[in-house]
Structure 1
Amino acid sequence: MSNEPLRLTVLGCATPYPSVDNPCSGYLVSHGDTRIWVDAGSGTLGPLQRHVRLDELDAIWISHMHADHSADLLTAYYGVLFADIRLAAPIPLYGPEGIADRLAGFLTNGPARSPIESAFAITELHDGHAASVGSLRLTSRAVAHGMPAFAVRIEAAGTSLVYSGDTAPCPSLTELAEECDVLLCEAESAQPSVESEQVHHTPEDTGDTARAARAGRLLVTHVGRFLTPERAVARASARFDGPVEYAAPGATFSIG
């Protein structure tokens, strides 16, 4: 397994709602037999099943609780408890503090709280949280999104992928991404925001973060609707000298 590459499959990257051919944010990260669903944005459960069944997942990791990153946890809940899936054990779910109660608030329709914990074995993230899932090592850092939000560094066999989640440029993301092989970084904002209100990267910010972290390769994702992917890549490339690509829905990238 040590010679196998780390793989990133883009399930979707639209924001803030799905387009006809692009679900919201969601990725499948795999290495050997280990598979993690990273963010479960609206519409990503469908394409996830092209690659893995819900009962074959080793874990789910959620950056924050905005619907375009987490809404398909609700349909996954019904899938694993009330359909054709038979879990041997609840799926490990890593997410921000309070994620269980947030899900239960949506799913409970009577006096009894929906059995969230029967579907998901929940671990709440904190800054610096570390976990091993199969052959993968996950390190999470709190980032600047105006709400509890995290980025993650995923490592296997000497290779590394860092995913920004949603965030303004911040030291914790740059530190997490230091000398990573691939940085998967959002580029939501077409124009810079007022500093006190900034909660996303512009494409220029994305390039700056990749350069400051000395990343080997930059994948631009979560491109806002006032940008084209091509323009976002071009603007990020003006700030980062390494390879820059768009994380197109359906694409799979090998790392290492």
Structure 2
Amino acid sequence: MTSAPLRLTVLGSATPHATVDNPCSGYLVSHGATRVWVDAGSGTLAQLQRYVRLDEVDAIWISHLHADHSADLLTTYYAVLFANVRFDAPIPLYGPPGITDRLAHFLTNTSTRSPVESAFAIRELHDGHQASVGGLTLTTRAVEHGIPAFALRIEVEGRSLVYSGDTAPCANLTRLAEGCDALLCEAESSRAPADGPQVHHTPEDTGDTAGAAGARRLLVTHVGPTLTPAEAVRRASTRFHGPVDYAAPGTTFSIA
């Protein structure tokens, strides 16, 4: 019997804000009947519903709390509690430390705290965190973005997908991505900063990380506004000699 494919659907990849044809960061990872929503940037909830109903999502995983990766959690809260959809239980939500209070702060409009736990079963991430969702194994590593931020490895039946989140090149990401079938890696910066800490990959960094990790395939995402996707792919390809593609919104990749 042929096993179910591991699929990555790009809901959006824009930064630092959604554009008319590209929401911010958000991805749907699916395997059989299991579905994980990875990052919930502005505009991604609407796109998610092209593929699944919200009550069919088994878990949500958030890399960090910048709005272009997490803002649609606010509208998701209202959808879970007040839309015409029945939920048997709150949606499991994996996110950085402090995510519960951050959501409650934004959603509370009176002296009564908003019951975010009614919509989400929240588990805070830490370096080395592991979870099982359906048949998927989710492994989290801390990365370098100037705030608590994480990268994710998803594995099932010998296949693996790694997502960088937002980060400068770092050893934890390289180790997490070792031998993966596909590395979905951000390339927001057109060049490394002349001064101050680096908090993003350049396209060349993206290629270097994929090569150092021995990834089989590179998917370039979260391309900054000073770059075109074609330029980011071209520059990443100068450092990584495997297949390189752009994570265009609406695209579905089969991970094999």
Q: Same fold (TM over 0.5)?
A: yes
Aligned to 1:65: 65
Q: For 2:145 and 2:153, how far apart are their aligned partners in 1?
A: 18
Counterpart of 1:28 in 2: which secondary structure?
strand
Q: Deviations over 1:107-152 (max 9, x none)?
A: 0000110000000000000000000000100000000000000000
Aligned to 2:54: 54
- For residues 1-256 of structure 1, the aligned pairs below 5 Å read 3-194=3-194, 196-256=196-256
- The answer to which of 13-22 and 190-199 deviates more is 190-199
Q: Which amino acid aligns with 1:224?
A: G
Contact 1:12 1:27 in 2 (8 A): yes
Q: For 2:41 and 2:63, how far apart are their aligned partners in 1?
A: 10
Q: For 2:172 and 2:162, how far apart are their aligned partners in 1?
A: 12
Q: Deviations over 1:72-124 (max 9, x none)?
A: 00000000101212110000000000101000010000011000000000000
Contact 1:182 1:216 in 2 (8 A): yes
Contact 1:2 1:157 in 2 (8 A): no
Q: Which amino acid aligns with 1:67?
A: A
Cα deviation, residue 193, structure 1: 1.4
* Percent sequence identity over aligned pairs: 75
Q: CA RMSD in A?
A: 0.9
**Number of residue-to-residue matches in the alignment:** 256
Q: For 1:167 and 1:194, how far apart are their aligned partners in 2?
A: 17
Q: For 2:146 and 2:184, how far apart are their aligned partners in 1?
A: 20
Contact 1:162 1:183 in 2 (8 A): yes
Q: Which amino acid aligns with 2:253?
A: F
Gaps of 5+ in 2: none
Q: Which amino acid aligns with 2:9?
A: T
Q: For 1:41 and 1:208, how far apart are their aligned partners in 2?
A: 26
Contact 1:182 1:215 in 2 (8 A): yes
Cα deviation, residue 196, structure 1: 4.3
Q: Which amino acid aligns with 1:125?
A: L
Cα deviation, residue 205, structure 1: 0.2
Q: For 1:143 and 1:46, how far apart are their aligned partners in 2?
A: 28
Cα deviation, residue 2, structure 1: 6.5
Contact 1:233 1:244 in 2 (8 A): yes
Counterpart of 2:74 in 1: which secondary structure?
helix
Q: For 1:63 and 1:195, how far apart are their aligned partners in 2?
A: 25
Counterpart of 1:162 in 2: which secondary structure?
strand
TM-score when scaled to structure 1? 0.99
- The answer to which of 213-222 and 50-59 deviates more is 50-59
Q: Which amino acid aligns with 1:87?
A: F
The runs of 4+ residues in structure 1 deviating greater than 3 Å are none
Q: Are the structure 2 counterparts of residues 55 and 61 from structure 1 closer, same or farther at C-alpha, using a change threshold of 3 Å? A: same
Cα deviation, residue 194, structure 1: 3.9
Counterpart of 1:92 in 2: which secondary structure?
strand
Q: For 1:249 and 1:159, how far apart are their aligned partners in 2?
A: 23
Counterpart of 1:197 in 2: which secondary structure?
coil
Gaps of 5+ in 1: none
Q: For 1:102 and 1:241, how far apart are their aligned partners in 2?
A: 41
